[in-house]
């Protein structure tokens, strides 16, 4: 190994020092280390990154900067327009700080892979080593294959093989590395104490989500010790605080999947077995996250605005701007849908069961293109993550692999009655309905006092909409088969 020069660690969606593979490799290089984060507001705009997530990232970077300082690693934060400007920036840093090796963790999305390809070419021309390592999943994309060596397209067999691979590898979360040697260059940067993060992107306050390391760890520990056992019973009820609420930390890489699973295994040694219902149920959700990331790596079209099943591109989605706006603002007349959408607008987060309900409503009841919902979610979610968001939307819209069959359409009223039976969650977010009797909380338009409510009547007849959606999917499938 060439120990001359400086190592550059390029942070992206991995904002942590604990269990960070690229950081560990950089610290083992025997060289001084400089860390880098590049804000790309134009790219964020193209990718519909939520202002609340950008604020979350900015706050987390201040914590990360201090953590790295304790490892003798300065964190430089730059802002450029988009990914196309990054090769030039890194080239300048290589020259300025005598960098001989660049480390980073892999990202699987199409634009990110193209960016890394361009950076790799620029570094190769300068004879600088470039190491990209897998870190976003507990089991790296490409490691879980069918017997024919192909990526899995169905979740259940993927999970079965994922568990087999996990048992054979038993990957454990690694502690933060030891402090690295100090060099005059890094010492000078550390002395500057520059804690600024010059983001020009719009931001929305994310203060409800702590970013300090101890707070994140305590949230994970508390969930595993206090809630996991009943997770399988409570996770679908939005009025119950029964989910982990760790998705924002996973999305920006403040927490790793390995950390989550390691903590789960330490609390519930049998969590890899279905018999441990609560723990295995949460593990199952983490494996879904891995499944969607593996799909993103294997099928580049998913990152290019395309459905997994080509025939679904024949669906004639409705051009219904007013209905879309009603959905976005929580004014559909279906209380569980509206409460969920208002929760998203107010907090930047939405309960997972509700994400399925509102996605089904948009794509099946309103027959509006799933990509409009995918975009709205990404532009508002603090836990916006391309693979999970795209996978969830394509599942709900019946356009994705192993998706909800198109003829199964959620009834939003029945979903509300089942998962928020007394309307506790609805009343939190729809103040107009606070005095509606429980009997009518899911159908307030049928209540005798409906005329006194400042709340819309249902904008669609679910029974008719369901039949229209099924027929539209049938026609699309028939049309695609005719063109074969």
| Residues forming the active site | 285, 288, 317, 352, 370, 393
The alpha carbon dihedral of 16, 177, 225, 134 has a sign of: positive
Phi, psi of 237 (to 5 degrees): -110, 105
82 annotated among ligand-binding-site residues: no
Buried-exposed string 367-384: b where 16+ CB fall within 10 A, e elsewhere: bbbbbbbbbbbbbbbbbb
205 in a labelled binding site:
no
Annotated binding residue 432:
no
CA distance 149 to 160: 15
166 is in an annotated binding site: no
Q: Are 362 and 406 in contact (CB under 8 A)?
A: no
Report the SS3 class of residue 35.
strand
CB atoms within 10 A of CB 264: 22
H or E element that contains 37:
strand 33-39
Annotated binding residue at 292? yes
What H or E segment, with its residue span, contains residue 75? strand 75-79
Q: Is residue 361 annotated as involved in ligand binding? A: no
**213 assigned ligand-binding residue:** no
Q: How far apart are CA 253 and CA 20, in angstroms?
A: 9
Annotated binding residue at 440? no
| Packing angle of the helix pair 386-397, 352-360 (nearest 10 deg) | 50
Residues 6+ apart with CB under 8 A from 452: none
Q: Annotation-wise, does 313 bind a ligand?
A: no
291 is in an annotated binding site: yes
Known binding residue 130? Answer is no
Looking at residue 156, the DSSP 8-state letter turns out to be: H
Q: Is 286 annotated as a binding residue?
A: yes
Confirm or deny that 482 is annotated as ligand binding.
no
One-character DSSP codes across 285-338: HHHHHHHHHHHHHH-GGGGGT--SSGGGGG------HHHHHHHHHT-SS-HHHH
On whether 336 is known to bind a ligand per the annotation, the reply is: no
**Does 334 carry a binding-site annotation?**
no
3-state helix, strand, coil in the chain (%, to 5): 55, 5, 40
Find out whether 333 is annotated in a ligand binding site: no
168 is known to lie in a ligand binding site: no
Binding residues for FAD: 231, 243-247, 282, 285-292, 383-385
Q: Mark the binding-site residues, compressed into ranges.
A: 231, 243-247, 282, 285-292, 383-385
């Amino acid at each position: 190994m060439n120990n001359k020069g400086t190592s550059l660690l390029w942070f992206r969606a991995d904002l942590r020092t604990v269990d960070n593979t690229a950081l560990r490799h950089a610290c083992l290089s025997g060289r001084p280390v400089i860390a880098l984060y590049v804000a790309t507001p134009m790219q964020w705009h193209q990718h519909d990154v939520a202002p609340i997530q950008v604020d979350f990232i900015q706050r987390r970077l201040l914590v990360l900067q201090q953590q790295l300082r304790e490892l003798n690693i300065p964190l430089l934060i730059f802002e450029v327009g988009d990914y196309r400007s990054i090769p030039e920036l890194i080239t300048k840093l290589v020259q300025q700080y005598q960098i001989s090796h660049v480390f980073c963790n892999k990202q699987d999305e199409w634009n990110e892979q193209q960016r890394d390809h361009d950076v790799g070419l620029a570094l190769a021309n300068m004879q600088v080593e470039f190491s990209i390592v897998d870190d976003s999943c507990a089991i790296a994309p490409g490691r879980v294959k069918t017997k024919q060596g192909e990526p899995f397209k169905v979740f259940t067999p993927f999970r079965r093989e994922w568990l087999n691979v996990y048992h054979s590898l038993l990957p454990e979360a690694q502690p933060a590395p030891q402090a690295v040697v100090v060099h005059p260059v890094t010492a000078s940067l550390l002395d500057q104490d520059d804690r600024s993060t010059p983001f020009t992107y719009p931001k929305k306050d994310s203060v409800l989500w702590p970013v300090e390391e101890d707070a994140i760890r305590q949230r994970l520990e508390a969930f595993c010790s206090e809630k996991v056992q009943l997770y399988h019973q409570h996770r679908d009820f939005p009025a119950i605080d029964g989910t982990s609420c760790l998705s924002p930390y996973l999305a920006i890489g403040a927490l790793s999947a390995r950390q989550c699973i390691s903590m789960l295994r330490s609390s519930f040694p049998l969590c890899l077995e279905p018999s441990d219902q609560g723990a295995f149920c949460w593990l199952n959700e983490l494996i879904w996250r891995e499944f969607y990331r593996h799909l993103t790596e294997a099928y580049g079209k998913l990152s290019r605005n395309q459905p997994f099943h080509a025939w679904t591109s024949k669906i004639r989605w409705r051009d219904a701007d007013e209905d879309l706006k009603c959905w976005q603002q929580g004014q559909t007349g279906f209380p569980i849908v509206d409460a969920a959408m208002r929760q998203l607008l107010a907090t930047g987060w939405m309960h997972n069961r509700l994400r399925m309900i509102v996605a089904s409503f948009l794509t099946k009841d309103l027959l509006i293109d799933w990509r409009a919902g995918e975009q709205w979610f990404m532009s508002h979610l603090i836990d916006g993550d391309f693979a999970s968001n795209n996978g969830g939307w394509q599942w709900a819209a019946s356009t994705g692999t192993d998706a909800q069959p198109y003829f199964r359409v959620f009834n939003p009223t029945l979903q509300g009655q089942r998962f928020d039976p007394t309307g506790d969650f609805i009343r939190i977010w729809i103040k107009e309905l606070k005095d509606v009797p429980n009997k009518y909380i899911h159908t307030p338009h049928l209540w005798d006092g409906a005329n006194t409510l400042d709340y819309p009547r249902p904008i669609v007849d679910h029974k008719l909409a369901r039949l229209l959606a099924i027929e539209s999917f049938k026609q699309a499938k028939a049309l695609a088969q005719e063109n074969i």
